């Protein structure tokens, strides 16, 4: 009973306690406030938005929304959450996690309130795709842009703003689609037609752009910008008289409008009213002497009219006013070509590569090089952006974006010119354009190993057609390409027969010395160009040039006969060549070696030995040639006695034990055909195969293809042939703030340039501008649109989003107070600068080069001319390619102060044949201008580098796009340079 009572009392107590528990639960005082006091709501909102950390701010704002679901600040709170997501995304980019950053941008778009306010759209959402695109995340940028388009729905104004984003990154096709969608919603919107006209112009649809501007002008008859844009399109269509009327109409509304005054002058020129145009030009320049657009337009018109002096005059003034004006460089180069100065034209165009990378620029550069006789370099320049399709048309990506083709270069590239200069008249000529097309076709067929002999012969015939003074140079170039391919020797003989009477006319080309030495200069020029330097050639006496050309004709014919196994004829032609070629010149030694091959083919080893010994250069000993000579000497003489008396002591100690007399030499054993070359001689007598008379590729094989230089008798690495003699190169200083690299220890200029021979040319060092690229201003809707066409080379066609590789964020969103927390900038990664490349090896040989002053048309003197007291000058005795002893002067620029270049990435991995990534470059402090940074690829045929200096400007960075433009894989070097230092990165192409 007692136990029962205790149990009862415990149960009763438990019930009492449990009954008391619910009492405090129903009174949660914090959540009791259903309608908060206004002051409390404001305080909570201000507190939430003031949280410094973006992640915590998001949590605070979400709590505010939950606590005050009816607050009028809810849209603003959601907008601040979106902007905070953007800040977190930027932090993810900075930490190297682009996937997480992209996910945050996508989440932010999905969380944005609908409808999207104009403030949230313009100040926050529009920045998402731009931030992604500027970091090379193009596909993600387009995906986010698509989500934004779905979010904004049928808001015509916001659709136009999204179209402007695509205009900014030069994706005209998508911009056209969005602008057309906006116009369908609001046909009366003037801005819609203006935006669509800019998008059409970006895609080189001049007629459509003019039509949209006409509609916009009808809707807004008082808009001066619309009238000016319409007048420019009329000029581009060749309707200069109509354009003139519109410009004068603008002057009635605004008599001080500079654009209208400029248009009137250029319209008068284009209408054939030269006298009136020159009067107006003089008056306009008195008012605005630095009007770069007017000066450039006038310079190009004079170039198209054949007046090189006037073209140079106005182009130089235009460049003084604006050193980044790409078309002023082109007009200047055309002026130099008219003045028969192709090497000056080349130098100007290489300088222009700092500011643009249009197919037009490659065409102009190829025009300069073919005028100088540099056919191989011209062909390689064209191949970079052009191809001949199966229909025989030339095709390219206009602006490096829009695929187009045409029957001639002039027709194909007219749209690039008309979209910027608004002039229909081209400054090139039909003969040069046709020769360049034939050269491009010939080069492509030689590179294609499946090309038949008939196809090659037909391509050669098209290339050598005509009766101009440079025909002989083309014949020699084509003949030597056929010999190198070991094909159609009969065609080679035919070409040489036709060339006999062309020697005197061939000496009348713009620069005959360069044309004659073109093959010998090729490797040295490529080597120095890769180091931002340029080799030029002094004039060789006309009589010596004539002897070289006549000797080369005979030698080339001799090689062809040797290829046909007609050794008797080959010996006759080669002996004839030796009677006229300058003794001890590159071609003289080449002819002797070919003669030695012919003698070997006839089993006349004694005569072959004499020819090879004469061809051997005692001042430039070659290990392989010496070994092969030793083998042949022992075979002929039976002992090594007397060899050193003929070819000097053996400087290669390891080669002494190789030459041993063979106990029983076999008569069938003959010296290999390539003994005269510095490449693959037979190391021992027993391994010498029977001779197969095959001609050498070209006389240039004897000289290291860097004919401008001859190195001191240090043994050259086996792969590179020795330099027989040096041309007459002179070295100039090109207008560029980029100095010669500061001396630091590094092997070759870049890992890619493996074929660069050790002997370097003996030019004076000309600091060439680094080929970086800067875009012309993207056309805006209100101002005169000038779509930037200087963009990334050879991208994929426009419809694919990945083709838009060149960002140009002129519409970068600037946050306003409404959404204070958002900051969208390009991340910065601190890195240690790598060691700069070494200076060029000391040149050995160069005939009487001169140091030419930099033209003031490229840069101001204060930027390009060093203090004479700080320039080291050295004079040496050298022997040139022709065998003549001359003096060489080497001028070295002083070392500039050093700096540290920092890059967002120090190594890249991209896919071959079109893959690309962006790199941001800047300095480790704010004392240097990031705009002075440029970049150069060590292998421009495989890796291309373009620049957009408008990206990253807010964070003091310059944006570069590095792209694979060939199918070649491997590791390549890209060097970033500034006046105070340089940095190299490795690009892995897979």
The answer on pLDDT for 526 being more than 70 is yes
Tokens standing for residue 970: 């491997």
The answer on pLDDT for 800 being more than 50 is no
- Residue 966: how many CA atoms within 13 Å on its side-chain side? 14
226 to each of 120, 211, 216, 220, 807, how far by Cα in Å? 29, 12, 7, 8, 26
**Would you report the helix, strand and coil content of the chain in percent, each value rounded to 5?**
50, 10, 40
Contact 766, 536 (CB under 8 A): yes
Between CA 223 and CA 230, with CA 225 as vertex, the angle to 5 degrees is 100
The answer on pLDDT for 881 being more than 70 is no
The answer on pLDDT for 109 being more than 60 is yes
Task: In whole angstroms, give the CA distance from residue 154 to residue 721.
Answer: 69
Sheet holding 394-398, edge to edge: 387-388, 394-398, 402-406
Strand runs labelled E in 627-744: 729-731
More confident: 350 or 681: 350
Task: In whole angstroms, give the CA distance from residue 73 to residue 71.
Answer: 5
CB-CB neighbours of 271 under 10 Å? 16
More confident: 585 or 818: 585
Tokens standing for residue 974: 């890209």
Region 234-251: what's the mean pLDDT? 96
The answer on pLDDT for 824 being more than 60 is no
Peptide bond just before 699 cis, omega within 30 deg: no
Task: In whole angstroms, give the CA distance from residue 63 to residue 45.
Answer: 10
Beta 916-923 vs 901-903: how paired, if at all? antiparallel
- Identify which of 53, 175, 63, 162 has the alpha carbon closest to the alpha carbon of residue 116: 162
In this prediction, residue 802 carries a pLDDT of 38
- Identify which of 606, 673, 603 has the alpha carbon closest to the alpha carbon of residue 633: 606
Task: In whole angstroms, give the CA distance from residue 99 to residue 92.
Answer: 8
263 to each of 302, 328, 329, 426, how far by Cα in Å? 16, 17, 21, 18
User: Which of 310-313's residues contact partners 24+ apart within 8 Å by CB, and which partners?
Assistant: 310/335, 311/335, 311/338, 311/427, 312/336, 312/339, 312/857
Q: pLDDT averaged over the chain?
A: 76
The helix/strand/coil state of 877 is: strand
User: How far is residue 635 CA from its own chain's centroid?
Assistant: 53
Region 499-519: what's the mean pLDDT? 93
Task: In whole angstroms, give the CA distance from residue 736 to residue 354.
Answer: 9
Least confident of 295-304, 651-660, 781-790, 910-919: 781-790
- Identify which of 262, 267, 265 has the alpha carbon closest to the alpha carbon of residue 291: 262
In this prediction, residue 604 carries a pLDDT of 92
* Structural element, H or E, at residue 374: none
Alpha-carbon radius of gyration of the chain: 35
Peptide bond just before 115 cis, omega within 30 deg: yes
Which pTM was predicted? 0.65
Least confident of 46-55, 585-594, 631-640, 859-868: 859-868
Most confident of 44-53, 84-93, 471-480: 471-480
Signed CA dihedral, 263, 266, 269, 271: sign only? negative
| Ramachandran category for residue 408: left, alpha or beta (phi over 0 → left; psi -120 to 50 → alpha) | beta
Task: In whole angstroms, give the CA distance from residue 234 to residue 243.
Answer: 5
Count of positions (residues) in the chain: 990
In this prediction, residue 882 carries a pLDDT of 53
Sheet holding 916-923, edge to edge: 901-903, 916-923, 958-964, 943-948
> Most distant CA pair in the chain: distance in Å?
145
Task: In whole angstroms, give the CA distance from residue 419 to residue 326.
Answer: 13
The answer on pLDDT for 730 being more than 50 is no
Task: In whole angstroms, give the CA distance from residue 946 to residue 509.
Answer: 34
In this prediction, residue 591 carries a pLDDT of 94
The answer on pLDDT for 68 being more than 90 is no
The answer on pLDDT for 491 being more than 90 is yes
Q: State percent of the chain over pLDDT 90.
A: 48
| End-to-end CA, the chain | 93
The answer on pLDDT for 766 being more than 70 is no
Beta 907-910 vs 943-948: how paired, if at all? unpaired
Tokens standing for residue 20: 């008391």
The helix/strand/coil state of 786 is: coil
Most confident of 327-336, 444-453, 963-972: 327-336
Beta 907-910 vs 981-989: how paired, if at all? parallel
Tokens standing for residue 327: 């078309």
- Identify which of 413, 423, 411 has the alpha carbon closest to the alpha carbon of residue 232: 423
- Identify which of 761, 727, 760 has the alpha carbon closest to the alpha carbon of residue 848: 727
The secondary structure of residue 931, as a DSSP letter, is G
């Amino acid at each position: 009973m007692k136990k029962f009572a205790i149990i009862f009392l415990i149960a009763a107590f438990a019930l009492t306690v449990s009954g008391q528990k619910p009492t405090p639960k129903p009174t949660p005082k914090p959540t009791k406030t259903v309608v908060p006091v206004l002051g409390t709501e404001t305080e909570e909102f201000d507190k939430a938005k003031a949280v410094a950390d973006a992640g915590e701010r998001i949590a605070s704002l979400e709590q505010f929304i939950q606590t005050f679901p009816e607050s009028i600040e809810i849209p603003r709170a959601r907008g601040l959450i979106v902007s905070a997501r953007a800040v977190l995304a930027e932090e993810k980019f900075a930490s190297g996690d682009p996937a997480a950053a992209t996910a945050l941008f996508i989440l932010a778009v999905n969380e944005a309130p609908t409808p999207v306010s104009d403030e949230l759209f313009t100040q926050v959402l529009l920045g998402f795709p731009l931030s992604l695109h500027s970091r090379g995340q193009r596909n993600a940028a387009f995906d986010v842009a698509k989500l934004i388009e779905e979010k904004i729905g049928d808001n015509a104004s916001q659709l136009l703003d999204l179209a402007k984003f695509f205009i900014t990154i030069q994706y005209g096709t998508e911009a056209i689609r969005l602008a057309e969608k906006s116009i369908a919603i609001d046909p009366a919107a003037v801005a819609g037609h203006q935006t669509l006209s800019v998008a059409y112009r970006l895609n080189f649809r001049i007629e459509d752009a003019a039509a949209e501007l006409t509609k916009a002008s009808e809707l807004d008859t008082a808009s001066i910008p619309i009238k000016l844009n319409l007048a420019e399109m009329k000029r581009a269509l060749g309707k200069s008289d109509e354009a003139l009327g519109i410009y004068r109409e603008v002057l009635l509304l605004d008599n001080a409008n500079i654009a209208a005054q400029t248009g009137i002058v250029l319209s008068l020129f284009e209408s054939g009213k030269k006298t009136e145009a020159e009067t107006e030009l003089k008056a306009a320049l008195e008012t605005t002497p630095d009007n770069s657009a007017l000066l450039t337009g006038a310079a190009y018109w004079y170039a198209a009219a054949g007046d090189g002096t006037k073209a140079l005059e106005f182009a130089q003034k235009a460049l003084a006013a604006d050193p980044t004006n790409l078309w002023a460089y082109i007009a200047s180069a055309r002026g130099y070509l008219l003045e028969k100065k192709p090497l000056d034209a080349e130098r100007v165009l290489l300088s222009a590569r700092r500011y643009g990378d249009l197919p037009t620029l490659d065409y102009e550069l190829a025009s300069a090089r073919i005028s100088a006789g540099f056919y191989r370099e011209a062909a390689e320049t064209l191949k970079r952006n052009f191809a001949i399709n199966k229909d025989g048309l030339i095709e390219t990506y206009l602006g490096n974006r829009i695929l187009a083709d045409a029957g001639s270069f002039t027709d194909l590239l007219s749209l690039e010119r008309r979209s910027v200069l608004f002039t229909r008249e081209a400054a090139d000529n039909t003969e040069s354009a046709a020769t360049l097309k034939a050269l491009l076709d010939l080069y492509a067929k030689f590179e294609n190993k499946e090309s038949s002999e008939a196809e090659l012969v037909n391509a050669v015939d098209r290339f050598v057609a005509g009766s101009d003074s440079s025909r002989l140079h083309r014949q020699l170039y084509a003949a030597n390409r056929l010999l190198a391919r070991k094909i159609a020797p009969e065609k080679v003989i035919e070409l040489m027969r036709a060339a006999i009477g062309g020697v005197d006319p061939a000496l009348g080309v713009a620069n005959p010395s360069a044309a004659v030495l073109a093959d010998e200069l090729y490797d040295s020029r490529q080597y120095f160009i890769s180091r931002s330097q340029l080799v030029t050639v002094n004039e060789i006496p006309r009589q010596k040039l004539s002897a070289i050309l006549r000797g080369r004709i005979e030698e080339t014919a001799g090689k062809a006969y040797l290829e046909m196994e007609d050794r008797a004829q080959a010996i006759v032609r080669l002996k004839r060549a030796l009677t006229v070629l300058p003794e001890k010149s590159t071609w003289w030694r080449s002819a002797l070696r070919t003669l030695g091959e012919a003698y070997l083919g006839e089993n006349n080893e004694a005569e072959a030995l004499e020819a090879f010994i004469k061809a051997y250069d005692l001042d430039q000993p070659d290990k392989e040639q010496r070994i092969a000579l030793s083998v042949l000497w022992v075979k002929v003489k039976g002992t090594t006695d007397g060899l050193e008396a003929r070819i000097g002591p053996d400087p290669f100690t390891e080669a002494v034990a190789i030459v041993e007399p063979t106990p029983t030499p076999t008569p069938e054993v003959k010296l290999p055909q390539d003994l005269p070359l510095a490449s693959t001689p037979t190391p021992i007598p027993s391994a010498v195969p029977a001779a197969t008379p095959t001609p050498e590729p070209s006389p240039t094989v004897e000289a290291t293809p860097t004919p401008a230089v001859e190195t001191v008798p240090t043994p050259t690495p086996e792969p590179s042939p020795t330099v027989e003699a040096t041309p007459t190169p002179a070295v100039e200083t090109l207008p560029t703030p980029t100095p010669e690299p500061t001396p630091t220890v590094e092997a070759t200029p870049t890992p890619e340039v493996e074929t660069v021979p050790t002997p370097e040319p003996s030019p004076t060092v000309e600091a060439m501008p680094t080929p970086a690229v800067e875009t012309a201003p993207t056309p805006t809707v209100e101002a005169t649109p000038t779509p930037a066409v200087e963009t990334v080379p050879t991208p994929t066609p426009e419809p694919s989003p990945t083709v838009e590789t060149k960002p140009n964020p002129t519409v970068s969103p600037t946050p306003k107070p409404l959404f204070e927390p958002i900051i969208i900038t390009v991340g910065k990664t601190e890195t240690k600068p790598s060691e700069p490349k070494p200076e060029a090896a000391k040149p050995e040989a160069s005939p009487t080069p001169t140091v030419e002053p930099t033209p003031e048309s490229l840069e101001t003197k204060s930027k390009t001319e060093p203090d004479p007291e700080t320039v080291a000058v050295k004079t040496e005795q050298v022997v040139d390619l022709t065998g003549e002893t001359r003096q060489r002067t080497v001028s070295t620029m002083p070392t500039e102060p050093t700096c540290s270049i920092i890059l967002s990435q120090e190594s890249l991995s991209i896919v071959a044949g079109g893959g690309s990534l962006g790199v941001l470059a800047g300095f480790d402090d704010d004392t240097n201008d990031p705009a002075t940074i440029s970049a150069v690829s060590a292998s421009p045929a495989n890796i291309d580098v373009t620049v957009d200096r408008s990206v990253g400007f807010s964070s003091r960075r310059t944006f570069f796009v590095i792209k694979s433009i060939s199918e070649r894989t491997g590791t390549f070097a890209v060097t970033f340079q500034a006046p105070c230092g340089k940095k190299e990165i490795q690009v892995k192409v897979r």
